[in-house]
Amino acid sequence: MARPHDALAKNVLEAVLSPAGTFEREAGVPEVPAQRGDAFFVPDAARASALEGGGLLGRMASAPCLFEAFHDAPGVDELTAVARKLLHHRHARTLAKQVPAERVWVLSAGRPVGALEAAWARPAPGWPAGVYATAPMFGVWFVVIPELPEEPSTLAVRLLGRGRRWVEACRALETGEHDTPRGRGLRGAVHGLLARGASATMVPAEEDDMFYHPDFAEDFEEYRVELLQEGIELGKAEGKAEERHALLPALLVLAELRLGRALSDAERGAVASRVERDGASAAVALSTLDATALAGWIAG
């Protein structure tokens, strides 16, 4: 994940959606190897209730969908590429008798004026301000993040904005606007990304940059300790499987903090499997092992 915004988008989407279905980072577009979607999600009917706590993002993911996140507003060329990805994705998965995406969500941190006009996009009836639909056959929907109402239901999506609006969303998250296991996962998505980058590049003193947040440098150490404590507390008692699943995004960030680096996709899958299988003992390992021992634990 080369760009910070792409990484944050995938972390936020995974934190909100993974408890409710099958989430894929870097969703491949078969037969067109150069094309990859940011994420692909298929909801699981048996876990439909898990989407209810996801606010706007949960509603967006009520049907199989692709996600494409843009830190800068996409132009017509980018929109054409997104539409092409969706068509190739649908065609390939239909031929393979697999569930295809019904639509692709374009998450834009700026207003994509030209793309909206080219797609004949219109405000989506029954959806909050900032959500735009195109013709059903086209299958491209837009979320213009700076136009979203500032309310708890839109917080996860607003975390993918930029500048002052991103700062305000982060502060809302820090003050407990989403004081739930899902909220902990969102905090992990934001703080874990900042922790993996040098502060000089990840938190510059420029308000127009999405990572401008003067309070994060001081807050991070307190958050790291809190996250460690969450893992230890989970390790003290056998939690329910759904509770462990809800805490998985935070535990993944905890593993990255202990290792001092980002996890590979294979390592993320290994940690998820260990947490699902071992429950409390896995949380203890994530909370107490040093970096060398933890790497071996994940590999084993």
Q: What is the pLDDT of residue 116?
A: 96
Residue 239 has pLDDT above 90, yes or no: no
Confidence of residue 145 (pLDDT cuts 50, 70, 90): very high
Query: Between residues 294 and 52, which one has the greater pLDDT?
Result: 294
| Burial (Cβ within 10 Å: 0-12, 13-18, ≥19) of residue 28 | middle
d(CA 107, CA 185): 20
Identify residue 27 by its one-letter amino acid code: A
pLDDT digits (tens, 9 = 90+) for 86-95: 998 888 889 9
Residue 177 has pLDDT above 70, yes or no: no
Q: What is the pLDDT of residue 208?
A: 44
Backbone angles phi, psi at 247, to 5 degrees: -85, -5
The set of residues, in sequence order, having a beta carbon less than 8 Å from that of 31 and lying 6+ positions away, is: 88, 91, 92
Backbone angles phi, psi at 61, to 5 degrees: -95, 20
The predicted model gives 219-229 an average pLDDT of: 52
Residue 18 has pLDDT above 50, yes or no: yes
Label the pairing between strands 21-28 and 36-43.
antiparallel
Q: What is the pLDDT of residue 57?
A: 92
Confidence of residue 143 (pLDDT cuts 50, 70, 90): very high
String of DSSP letters for 120-170:
T-EEPTTS-TTEEE--TTT-EEEEEGGGS--SGGGHHHHTT--HHHHHHHH
Identify residue 231 by its one-letter amino acid code: G
pTM of this structure? 0.66
Residue 280 has pLDDT above 60, yes or no: yes
